[in-house]
Amino acid sequence: MTYRSDALHARITVPAAWVANKSAQALAFHSPGDLEIRVGVGLMRSAYEGTIEDAADALAATEGLEGWSRRFRQVAGLRAMEVVGHPKDNPKMKMARYFIATPSGPYLLQCVAPEKAWPLYRHIFEAIINSLRFV
């Protein structure tokens, strides 16, 4: 199912069974099911100004992203930094954060899943990432 946010100037497609939690500041979605197996995706403007590197560094300073891997890639045809690791104090979860360089500043796309379910959802996350468009 495709969702559009006029406030975020973005369009994204997620599986039809997923639950949407939309607000003026974010688009967020999660799979159905128990919390132990639930996965989610969220898109928002980054709270940090400047470059995507600045945004990633600022988040790392506040949330402690030690040991997270970083690499550059394209998201929605734009330069992005992918940062992957485990949320602080939760090694059973895995998260990928994409800091996307848009003309109106950095955006943040987050994908989160239990570590054991990550291989099952990796391709779904990639399809969601590939569906993202800034309009």
Residue 12 belongs to a domain with what CATH number?
3.40.1000.10
Average the pLDDT over 69-87 and give the result. 94
pLDDT confidence bin for 79, thresholds 50/70/90: very high
Asked if 99 and 55 touch (Cβ cutoff 8 Å), the reply is: yes
Domain housing 70: 2-134
* Average pLDDT of the residues of the chain: 92
- Exposure of 26 by Cβ count < 10 A (0-12 exposed, 13-18 middle, 19+ buried)? middle
Q: How many separate domains does the chain show? A: 1
Whole-angstrom distance, CA of residue 135 vs CA of residue 129: 15
Mean pLDDT across 105-132: 95
State the DSSP H helix or E strand holding residue 103, giving kind and residue range, or none if neither: none
| Strand, helix or coil for residue 38 | coil
Contact in structure between 76 and 98 (CB atoms under 8 Å): no
pTM for the model: 0.93
80-105: per-residue pLDDT in tens?
999 999 888 788 999 999 999 999 89
What pLDDT, on a 0 to 100 scale, did the predictor assign at position 91?
87
